[in-house]
């Protein structure tokens, strides 16, 4: 072997040893499989207009649905077409994403995982911070060359209410039927080990639009910064999120309150990274992604 080829081999070996995981060629087949799986699991939702907020005064006994002040400015919202993940993103999907990109595998639950190992099972909703959720959705968008992000608060409520109908609970029939269309305490313990935690996705019937676990199974991160009085000044067409804030909006079921806090119009908020130094993130903070052509980047 002449000296020229020896030099080429030596350079190749040195380059390979110095190469960092993030610089290595990604597994394109794994990328394509995850992206296509994610797109296939999205439900197309035709846009339209609806009255966003506590619609209690418009129906039934004409009484408010919640005791909160931040949802009382009922206002008209018009949304463009979008698609939403029918399921929350699972640990299986998130682990594939981290492996593809050479990221550290998420282990935000520390003490909880030791005590309740079921909560880190592949088809449990992935428990992440707001930024981790947003990064995942935007990565899907980059890989698919589509506009994918976290849902806005308006998109989530519109979808949960079956395109803005006067639906109080995001279940198969709009009713709250513990044990039948969302898990009761015993079922949660069986599925996750603890009645206060997430449980396996897709165990109960979907909403009429085909969305699973929009009620009763933890909360979804929204793109929005939380602003208490935002409803009073929100623009009508594809309302963008507030520019800044201290907390991020979450929608779904945070825990406690039973039917009251499971309502489609119930607003909640939390720090973007709700990690506890000792326990990690409590296993209720999840997410799903949306795809839309003209969503405002945040």
- Considering the domain boundaries, does residue 62 fall inside one? yes
Q: 62's torsion region: left (phi>0), alpha (psi -120 to 50) or beta?
A: left
- Considering the domain boundaries, does residue 297 fall inside one? no
Q: What is the model's pLDDT at position 255?
A: 84
What residue numbers bound the domain in which 59 lies? 27-291
- Considering the domain boundaries, does residue 122 fall inside one? yes
Q: What is the model's pLDDT at position 13?
A: 40
Are the beta carbons of 88 and 125 closer than 8 angstroms? Answer: yes
Are the beta carbons of 215 and 170 closer than 8 angstroms? Answer: yes
pTM of the model: 0.89
Which sign does the torsion angle of CA 94, 96, 100, 105 carry?
positive
- Considering the domain boundaries, does residue 66 fall inside one? yes
What are the C-alpha distances in Å from 91 to residues 8, 80, 98? 42, 30, 10
CATH number at residue 264: 3.90.1580.10
**Helix extents (H) in the chain:** 3-18, 28-40, 91-101, 111-115, 130-144, 153-160, 185-192
Per-residue confidence in pLDDT tens, the chain, 298 aa? 454 444 434 444 444 444 444 445 778 999 999 999 999 999 999 999 999 999 999 999 999 999 999 999 999 999 999 999 999 999 999 999 999 999 999 876 778 888 899 999 999 999 999 999 999 999 999 999 999 999 999 999 999 999 999 999 999 999 999 999 999 999 999 999 999 999 999 999 999 999 999 999 999 999 999 999 999 999 999 998 888 999 999 999 988 878 999 999 999 999 999 888 777 888 899 999 999 875 444 3
- Considering the domain boundaries, does residue 215 fall inside one? yes
What distance in Å separates the CA atoms of residue 175 and residue 106, rounded to the nearest whole number? Answer: 35
Q: What is the model's pLDDT at position 108?
A: 65
- Considering the domain boundaries, does residue 10 fall inside one? no
Q: What is the model's pLDDT at position 20?
A: 42
Domain count, the chain: 1
- Considering the domain boundaries, does residue 18 fall inside one? no
Q: What is the model's pLDDT at position 164?
A: 98
- Considering the domain boundaries, does residue 102 fall inside one? yes
């Amino acid at each position: 072997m002449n000296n020229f080829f020896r030099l080429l081999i030596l350079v190749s070996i040195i380059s390979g040893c110095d190469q960092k995981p993030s610089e290595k060629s990604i597994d394109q087949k794994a990328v394509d499989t995850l992206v296509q799986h994610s797109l296939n699991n999205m439900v197309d939702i035709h846009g339209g207009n609806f009255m966003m907020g506590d619609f209690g005064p418009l129906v039934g006994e004409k009484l408010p649905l919640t005791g909160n002040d931040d949802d009382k400015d009922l206002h008209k919202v018009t949304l463009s077409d979008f698609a939403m993940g029918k399921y929350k993103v699972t640990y299986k999907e998130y682990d594939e994403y981290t492996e593809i990109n050479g990221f550290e595998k998420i282990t935000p639950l520390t003490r909880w995982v030791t005590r309740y190992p079921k909560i880190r099972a592949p088809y449990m909703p992935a428990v992440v911070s707001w930024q981790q959720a947003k990064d995942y959705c935007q990565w899907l968008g980059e890989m698919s060359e589509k506009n994918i992000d976290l849902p806005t608060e308006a998109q989530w409520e519109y979808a949960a209410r079956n395109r803005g109908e006067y639906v109080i609970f995001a279940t198969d029939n709009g009713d709250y039927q513990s044990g039948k269309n969302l898990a009761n305490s015993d079922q949660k313990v069986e599925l996750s080990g603890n009645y206060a935690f997430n449980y396996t996705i897709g165990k109960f019937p979907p909403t009429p639009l085909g969305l699973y676990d929009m009620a009763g199974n933890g909360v979804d991160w929204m793109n929005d910064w939380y602003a208490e009085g935002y409803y009073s000044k929100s623009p009508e067409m594809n309302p963008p999120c507030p520019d800044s804030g201290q907390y991020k909006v979450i929608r779904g079921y945070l825990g406690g309150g039973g039917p009251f806090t499971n309502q489609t119009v119930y607003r909640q908020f939390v720090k973007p990274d709700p990690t506890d130094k000792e326990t990690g993130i409590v296993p209720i903070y999840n997410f799903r992604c949306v795809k839309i052509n003209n969503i405002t980047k945040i």
